[in-house]
Structure 1
Amino acid sequence: MGLGDIISDSVQYPFSDIQKFLIVGVISLFSGLSSLFGNWGVDSFILITLAGIIGLIFTLMLSGYSISVTKYAINHSSQLPDLDFQNNLIDGIKALIISIVYFIIPIIITLIFAIITGAIGAGLNQLVAGLGVFAVIAVIVFIFFAIFEIVALARFADTGELGEALNIGEVIEDVKKIGIGKIILFAIVSVIIIIIASLIVSLLGIIPFIGILIAQLIIGAFITLFYSRAIGLLYAEA
C-alpha cells in the first residue's frame, strides 16, 4: 500500500461512521476541558482543577481508543471500533508509559551531549559554540525516537503487549522493514494535513461560545481517527 493510498484512506476513514465520529469528538472535547475553560475566562481554582482531572481521564481514554483504531487498521478493518471505557482507559495508560519511556531516553542523551558540547556548565563563548552543536544533535535524536515511538505504539496495538512495545530491538527491526524515509515522509504529510484541517475548522471559532465547542469536537475527532488509522496502515507494511 503506497503512502498516497494510506493518506487517502485515512482522510476518508473518520467520516465512515458519523455517530462514532461524534462520540470521539465529545471525548476529545472533554479531554480539552481546561483549555475551553481558559477560552471562556473561567478562573475558579476548583473548576480548573476539576477540569484538569476530567481532561486527563478523557485524554487517556482517547489515547486508548486510538490504539483500538490502529489495531483495526493493522487488521485491515474499515470499521470504527466501539468505545470501551475500561479497556480504552487501561490502553491509554499503557500508551502513556510507552511515550514516556521513548522520550526519557532522548532527554538523557541530549543532556549528556549538552554537557559534552559545553551547552551546560560552560562560559559564554563556549555556550554559544556549544548550543549550535547541541541543537542539531537534540533534533536528530528526538526525531529518531519519535519514529521509534510511532512504531512502538503500533506494535502495542498489534500485539496488545506492553513488553513488545518496549522491545527496542524489535521496534528497530519494524522501522527497518517500513523504512525510515517512508515514516518521516508520512509524519510530514500528516502534520501538513492536520494543520490544514485545523485552520479550516478554526473558522467555526468565529461563532460566539458554541463555535469553539464545535471546532474542538470536529478537529479532535478527525485528528484522532485520521492519524491512528494512518499509523496502523503504515505499520501493516512491516
Structure 2
Amino acid sequence: MNFSDVFVDSLRYPFTDTKKLLTLFLFFLGSVVIIPGIMANGYLLRIIENTFKGSNELPDFNNKSELLGKGLELIVVNIIYSIPSYLILFYIPTQISILTSFQAVIVLVVAALAIDFIVNIFLVMGIGNLVFENKFSAAFAFKRILELIKKVGWKKYLAYLVVFTIILEIFSLIIGLLSPFMAFMGMWSILGILFITLISNTYLFAFGSRFKGLIYPLNEIEVEEN
C-alpha cells in the first residue's frame, strides 16, 4: 500500500460498519462508569489486530473480558508515554518567568507540539508492536521499535506521523470553530460541544488504530522470519 492509500484507507475505514462505529461511540460515552471506556480502548487494539489479519472491516465486540484486559494495557501504555510530556511542560513554566504572557504561551505551545511528536515516534509503533507481540512490554521495547521504524524507513515514517498529526489537528480546529456557533444553545452548548467532540474522537480513534495497523512493517517481518 502506497503512502496516500494508507490515509485514504484509514479515513474511510470507520465507516465500513456504521453500527459498530456507533457502538464504539456508546462505549466511549459510557466512560463515566469506567468499564465501557476501558473496553473501548481494548477495541482499538482489536482494530489493529484485525488489520494485521488482513480484515478491512471493523471487528466484532465479542469476548468482552479480552477487551477489558487489552483496554487496561492500552490505557497504562498511554499514561506512561505521557509522563515525559507532563514533566517537561511542568518544568518549562518555571524557566520562562521573564517572558511576556504571549511569549510564554508561544513557547509552551511549540514545546508541547515538539514533545508530543517525539513521543509519538515511539508510541505509534510501540502500540503496533504491543498488538503484534501480544505482550505489554513490547510497547516499551525501544530497540525493537527503532528497528521497526528502520524497516518502514525513517523519512517515510516521519512523513506518516506529520500527515497523521495534521489530520488530527484539522479535526480539532473544526471542532474549535464549531464551538462559537453553538453558543445560541445556552446551557446546552457545553453538552453539545462535548457530544460533537466525542463523536469526532470516536471516529479519530478508529482511524488512528487502522493507521497504526497499516504502517506496521508486517510484510518486512514476515520476509525476515522466512
Structures share a fold, TM > 0.5?
yes
Give the 3-state SS of the residue equivalent to 2:35 in structure 1: helix
Give the 3-state SS of the residue equivalent to 2:54 in structure 1: coil
Q: Offset at 1:188?
A: 2.5
Q: Offset at 1:214?
A: 7.3
**Percent same amino acid among aligned pairs?**
22
Q: Offset at 1:200?
A: 10
**Which structure has the bigger radius of gyration?**
1
Work out which of the residue numbers 140, 162, 185 in structure 2 matches 1:185: 162
Question: Match of 2:224?
Answer: none
Residue 97 in structure 1 maps to residue 76 in structure 2 = yes
Contact 1:98–1:152 (CA<8 Å) still a contact in 2?
no
Work out which of the residue numbers 142, 147, 169 in structure 1 matches 2:116: 142
Question: Match of 1:15?
Answer: 15
Q: Which runs of 5+ in 2 are unaligned?
A: 221-226
Q: Which runs of 5+ in 1 are unaligned?
A: 32-51
Q: What number of residue pairs does the alignment pair up?
A: 208
Measured against aligned partners, the alpha-carbon deviations of 1:157-187 in whole angstroms (never above 9, x if no partner) come to: 2221111111111112223333342232232
Question: Match of 1:48?
Answer: none
Distance in 2 (CA, whole Å) between partners of 1:88 and 1:160 is 13
Contact 1:25–1:216 (CA<8 Å) still a contact in 2?
no
CA 1:193/1:88 → structure 2, altered by over 3 Å: closer, same or farther?
farther
Work out which of the residue numbers 130, 136, 155 in structure 2 matches 1:156: 130
Question: Match of 1:82?
Answer: 60
Question: Match of 2:28?
Answer: 28
The alignment's TM-score, normalised by the length of structure 2, stands at: 0.71
Q: Offset at 1:233?
A: 0.7
Q: Offset at 1:152?
A: 0.9
CA 1:11/1:177 → structure 2, altered by over 3 Å: closer, same or farther?
same
Question: Match of 1:168?
Answer: 142
Distance in 1 (CA, whole Å) between partners of 2:199 and 2:209 is 16
Contact 1:14–1:221 (CA<8 Å) still a contact in 2?
no
CA 1:125/1:181 → structure 2, altered by over 3 Å: closer, same or farther?
same
Q: Offset at 1:101?
A: 2.1
Question: Match of 2:223?
Answer: none
The alignment's TM-score, normalised by the length of structure 1, stands at: 0.68
